[in-house]
A = this chain, B = another copy of it.
Amino acid sequence: MPPMNYRFSTRALSAKSSDVRDLLLHAQNPDIISLAGGLPAAEFFDVDGIRNAAASVLKHSSTSALQYGMTEGQPRLKAALKKHLASKGIRASDSTLIVTTGSQQGLDLIARAFINEGETIVVERPTYLAALQAFNLCAPNYVSINIDDQGGCVHELQSLENLPHEQKPKLIYVVTNFANPSGVSMSLERRRWLAQWAVKNEVFVLEDDPYGDLYDGSAPPTPLAAIAQSIPGASDWCGYASSLSKCLAPGLRIGWMVLPEALARIVVRLKQAMDLHTSTLTQEIAATYLESGAMDDRLVLIRNAYKLRRQTLTEALSKTFGSRISISPSTGGMFIWGRFTDGTQTRPLLAKAIEEKVIFVPGDVFYASDPDQSSLRLNFTSASPERLIEGVRRLAMAM
């Protein structure tokens, strides 16, 4: 086929294709052990609970589940989400809470609301790959802050304070709990500092929190969004995004954001033009499920299973690679972030790993710039403990 003279938009051409997508195609081969994906373990989906919720919805509320709905979300789901958010200390109202088509859409919405080509977004290094992909559609400039054991090094933002206001970043994106890919959570002290910095500098912070409920032992610190609500003016500059994808089921595509009202109005207008609204059927199913109260027990089950898997993978890596690998401290989420201390490059390692029938994500894709070529992300949720151990054995073969 000869190339067509398509005149694509600049932004479409700046949407870089990640080779992770091709990598994940390998995961469809059952002979391959995938530590590469970001899938929750399907064996812990509450299929019966969701089936009952769907049956109830299509019996008792079929019209609202099948008809067009309001862009900001179904009232029933919003009521259930307000309760869920309140349990985390976040107050939300009908005019600040917006249902999104997965939290991924939230990232696109916020970037579209704020970012003109070349304007600055602050991200962590490493940061969530698909956030970079969403932000790339606005062709932004990136500034990265490092991550250490206490989460994003927010104090690095001080270097931006003296910029003229129009050159300051317009958006700061942080994953506060068990971040993807680093696994690290931001300390309470840094959350407080960041909320204060945001209001002082009038820069909007989006807190992405898909993993906060997937903890071992005790819950992570209070969300940045909750802290912001107790600091005068800060809730005007802090937004919160989360989803049901990791705890209930990604296939529902139910995410949400809590935003200051003036921003929420703009975001609803954008979303209306983008997909009118999120599926009313999956919204009603999610509402019914949340109302049933089954989520709490299910989360206990998932947390226990994921704890075992994380410990299994961590131990296997430590035993196998010893001091050759350093692993970020984490007590939750879905990922282990490692770094080879002996200079092993994870791109060439991946090629050999595929031959050994194990895959992971080389860490370089999680950086807006200056990637660490010795890093890698390993997912522990979508393989059984036995497969995790075998996966590490194969990884050692590949080395």
* Residues of A bordering B, CB below 8 Å: 1, 3-12, 15, 17, 21, 37-40, 42, 45, 47, 50-51, 54-55, 58-59, 62-69, 101-102, 104-105, 108, 112-116, 119, 130, 133-134, 136-138, 166, 170, 202, 204, 236, 245, 249-253, 260-263, 266, 269-270, 272-282, 285
Contacts and interface: CB of A to CB of B under 8 A. Distances in A.
Contacts of A273: 15, 104, 108, 130, 133-134, 136-137
A113 B12 contact: yes
Contacts of A9: 112-116, 119, 138
Q: Which of A6, A134, A138 has the most CB of B within 10 A?
A: A6
Contacts of A262: 1, 3-4, 6
Contacts of A59: 51
A61 to B, nearest CB: 10
A246 to B, nearest CB: 10
Q: Which of A51, A58, A280 has the most CB of B within 10 A?
A: A58
A39 B272 CA distance: 15
A40 B273 CA distance: 19
Does more than half of chain A's interface fall in helix, strand or loop, or is it mixed?
helix
A130 B274 CA distance: 9
Given A8-B113, A9-B138, A45-B66, A279 B279 contact: yes
Contact of A58 (B42, B54, B272): B54
B47 A58 contact: yes
A50 B285 CA distance: 14
Contacts of A66: 42, 45, 47, 50, 249-252
B250 A6 contact: no
Contacts of A281: 249, 251-252, 281-282, 285
Contacts of A136: 273
A312 B42 CA distance: 52
B270 A6 contact: no
A166 B4 CA distance: 15
Q: Which of A12, A55, A58, A113 has the most CB of B within 10 A?
A: A12
Contacts of A275: 101-102, 104-105, 108, 253, 275
Nearest to A274: B108
A130 B66 CA distance: 20
A222 to B, nearest CB: 24
A251 B250 CA distance: 18
Given A9-B112, A54-B55, A274 B272 contact: no
A47 B63 CA distance: 9
A116 B138 CA distance: 11
A211 to B, nearest CB: 15
Contacts of A6: 114, 204, 262-263
A54 B58 CA distance: 9
A39 B67 contact: yes
A133 B1 CA distance: 35
Given A5-B202, A11-B116, A105-B275, 14 more contacts: A1-B261, A1-B262, A3-B262, A6-B263, A45-B66, A64-B251, A66-B250, A67-B251, A68-B251, A108-B274, A250-B276, A250-B280, A253-B278, A253-B279
Nearest to A67: B42
A324 B68 CA distance: 34
B55 A51 contact: yes
Contacts of A101: 101, 253, 275, 278-279
A391 B304 CA distance: 60
